[in-house]
């Protein structure tokens, strides 16, 4: 492909992806499967890496998430809420492992966590009290959804210690609640949600928090925004500290010595994921040591020290079938 053709193709891919992203992030109503979105996104990434001079600052590959809904106050994140780079097979993970080891000489362990398919949230605690909750938004500016998050039972209004911190995690809708919600919406002639992720996002971004309160949402907290003044030097220790503070973390996690061990963990979840009562769309692999993370750094959109392995598309269909069988 020559440069002119590439320019036209890049613009077309960007336009398609931007429309899909708008339906997904703003309307909470995806127009295509995630696997289709990921495939087209990957085509754009490949083309942009073949013609780096054609990458524009407004390309979807340079941006995070969606737009801010009208009706919500804006919250500026002191530390940006980023996305994650993706891996789709074992080869991608081996490449990731190689890259990491070139970027640091610190011995590497990987903390491996489930990739919860919900909406990213930031919770701010001041002197141990929950004062503000926000969506990721475009990564820099999110929506203030404090009132709505106060209705989510798993979010403590007070931590066990009087700390001032920002913690981050995923707010999700359990599979059972999703099925019940869609059944009742169908019965009353309302549009049904395409999946638990969109149902969670739609429920959290309600102007009336009484509606959110009825939606049976839950959370898993997986990170602390600013690790500098926090009593942990690794991701695995920080999850333990978050637990002790009274925040709900996901206990399905593993510290791995090698990328081979990471792969074994991923393989167990290809089957096991259907048994979970919440949806996951992959497995997140993070360099465990914070000083190694700092050395490895970030791209404009995502940390270089982490990657999300995305489950293959057929698995998504299996999950939908399993939900139907368990109703």
Which residues are at the interface with ligand NAD (CB under 6 A)?
A: 20-21, 24, 30-32, 34, 37-38, 64-65, 83-84, 113, 115-116, 120, 136, 170, 222, 284, 308
Contact indicator for 121, 219 with CB cutoff of 8 Å: yes
Tracing tokens 């939606």 back to the chain, one arrives at 215
36 marked among binding-site residues: yes
238 marked among binding-site residues: no
Per-residue CA distances from 167 to 15, 78, 245 (Å): 34, 12, 11
Tracing tokens 């320019």 back to the chain, one arrives at 7
Q: How far is the CB of 100 from ligand NAD (least distance, A)?
A: 17
Backbone angles phi and psi of 310, in degrees to 5? -100, 130
139/263 with CB nearer ligand NAD: 139
113 marked among binding-site residues: yes
317 marked among binding-site residues: no
Q: What token pair was written down for 306?
A: 């982490």
Contact indicator for 204, 119 with CB cutoff of 8 Å: yes
159/200 with CB nearer ligand NAD: 200
161/237 with CB nearer ligand NAD: 237
34 marked among binding-site residues: yes
Q: Across the beta sheet with 280-287, what order do the strands follow?
A: 86-87, 306-310, 280-287, 110-116, 253-256
Q: How far is the CB of 222 from ligand NAD (least distance, A)?
A: 4
138 marked among binding-site residues: no
Give the dihedral of Cα atoms 38, 43, 46, 52; nearest 10 deg. -110
Report the distance separating Cα 122 and Cα 221, nearest Å: 9
34/143 with CB nearer ligand NAD: 34
Q: How far is the CB of 255 from ligand NAD (least distance, A)?
A: 14
Q: How far is the CB of 3 from ligand NAD (least distance, A)?
A: 28
Q: How far is the CB of 72 from ligand NAD (least distance, A)?
A: 18
Contact indicator for 275, 268 with CB cutoff of 8 Å: no
- The two beta strands, 218-224 and 110-116, are unpaired
Which residues are part of the catalytic machinery?
115
Reduced to 3 states (helix: H, G, I; strand: E, B; else coil), residue 118 is coil
21/204 with CB nearer ligand NAD: 21
CB-closest chain residue to ligand NAD: 120
Q: Residues within the annotated binding site?
A: 34-38, 83-84, 113, 136, 170, 286, 310
Q: Residues within the annotated binding site for NAD(+)?
A: 34-38, 83-84, 113, 136, 170, 286, 310
């Amino acid at each position: 492909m020559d440069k002119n053709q590439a320019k036209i193709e890049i613009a077309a891919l960007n336009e398609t992806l931007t429309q899909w992203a708008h339906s997904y992030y703003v309307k909470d109503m995806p127009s295509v499967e995630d696997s289709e979105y990921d495939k087209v996104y990957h085509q754009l990434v490949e083309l942009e890496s073949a013609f780096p001079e054609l990458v524009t600052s407004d390309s979807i590959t340079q941006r995070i998430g969606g737009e801010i809904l009208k009706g919500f106050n804006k919250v500026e994140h002191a530390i940006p809420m980023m996305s994650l780079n993706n891996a789709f097979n074992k080869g991608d993970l081996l490449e990731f492992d190689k890259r990491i080891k070139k970027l640091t000489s610190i011995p590497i362990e990987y903390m491996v966590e489930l990739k919860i398919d919900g909406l990213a949230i930031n919770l701010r605690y001041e002197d141990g009290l929950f004062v503000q909750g926000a969506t990721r938004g475009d990564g820099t500016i999110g929506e203030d959804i404090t009132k709505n998050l106060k209705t989510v039972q798993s979010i403590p209004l007070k931590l066990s210690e009087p700390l001032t911190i920002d913690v981050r995690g995923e707010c999700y809708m359990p599979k059972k609640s999703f099925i019940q919600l869609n059944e009742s919406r169908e019965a009353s002639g309302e549009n049904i949600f395409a999946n638990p992720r969109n149902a969670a996002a739609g429920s959290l971004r309600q102007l009336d928090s009484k509606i959110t309160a009825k939606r049976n949402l839950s959370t898993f907290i997986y990170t602390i925004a600013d690790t500098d003044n926090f009593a942990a030097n690794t991701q695995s220790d920080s999850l333990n500290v978050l637990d002790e503070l009274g925040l709900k973390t996901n206990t399905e996690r593993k510290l791995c010595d090698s990328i081979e061990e990471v792969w074994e963990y991923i393989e167990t979840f290809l089957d096991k994921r259907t048994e979970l009562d919440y949806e996951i769309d992959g497995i997140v692999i993070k360099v465990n040591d914070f000083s190694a993370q700092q050395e490895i750094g970030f791209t404009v959109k995502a940390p270089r020290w982490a990657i999300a392995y995305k489950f293959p598309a057929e698995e998504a269909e299996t999950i939908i079938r399993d939900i139907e069988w368990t109703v």
